[in-house]
Structure 1
């Protein structure tokens, strides 16, 4: 029974780590990629939201970026940007792919530092790679759209004329 109890404790620690550390940090990395893409496309203002629920705090960084912290930090995030003239389809692709690209890059860099016994860094690296791979796939689910979905729409349109 002792071995079984240890395995349960191990998986509980992994779950706590994923929910309280890896998920919020991974979302920050991913959404920062969208902000970087927006910056390259000359956005006039960018918002980065971490979590969902009631907004707890907003921090302004410079003239162009506001970071919003929400009550449930472990439950996703969002990045948005605005500018006077609309983004071209290519700019929409750059902004949309910024998130998965940043997640993939972070995962790759972290994997370079993984040693034989460092499960936590490996887990965080794999989590970032997973976020990237899922977001490359174009899908819409419960009103949420993946980055791949936005890219698909930017390239192929929405099927509506006029």
Structure 2
């Protein structure tokens, strides 16, 4: 992999792929009537915040690392709704990866292949149950929701 692809991965592919993942969670939450939706991209200091159609979007200094979605409503989500919201992020990555591979078969650009590979990776890794420093993967939330009765 040359330096150009590494830069494309860090500056374009990763942030767009994380945004796709988090938008999946937001759409999943919207389908179960969440009324407060916040999408945060990056780590570090908040650089700017804006609202689009009731969704608060926060961009942080290091925008290409990490992302999160916070959703809520007047009553708590039940376990099936938590699973639904959690699965939508990885599902969006896998769907996008499939679109990328179809496009790549017609137009063999390395950036399209990079989008495919990164989105497949993002979708799979987020389905692995893990918890690090209080942050839970989608797989962890799904597993915890399956084993609890609430």
Give TM class, smaller chain: over 0.9
Gaps of 5+ in 2: none
Partner secondary structure for residue 110 of structure 1:
helix
Could you tell me which residue of structure 2 aligns to residue 65 of structure 1?
Answer: 55
The separation in 2 between residues aligned to 1:44 and 1:137, in whole angstroms, is: 28
Could you tell me which residue of structure 2 aligns to residue 75 of structure 1?
Answer: 65
1:134 aligns with 2:125: yes
Q: Would you say the 8 A contact 2:79–2:148 is kept in 1?
A: no
Could you tell me which residue of structure 1 aligns to residue 40 of structure 2?
Answer: 49
CA RMSD in angstroms comes to 1.4
The separation in 2 between residues aligned to 1:54 and 1:142, in whole angstroms, is: 19
Q: Would you say the 8 A contact 2:17–2:93 is kept in 1?
A: yes
Could you tell me which residue of structure 1 aligns to residue 5 of structure 2?
Answer: 14
The separation in 1 between residues aligned to 2:55 and 2:110, in whole angstroms, is: 34
Could you tell me which residue of structure 2 aligns to residue 86 of structure 1?
Answer: 76
The separation in 1 between residues aligned to 2:58 and 2:12, in whole angstroms, is: 18
Partner secondary structure for residue 34 of structure 2:
coil
Q: Structure 1 residue 144: deviation in Å?
A: 2.5
Gaps of 5+ in 1: 1-9
The separation in 1 between residues aligned to 2:10 and 2:135, in whole angstroms, is: 20
The separation in 2 between residues aligned to 1:150 and 1:92, in whole angstroms, is: 7
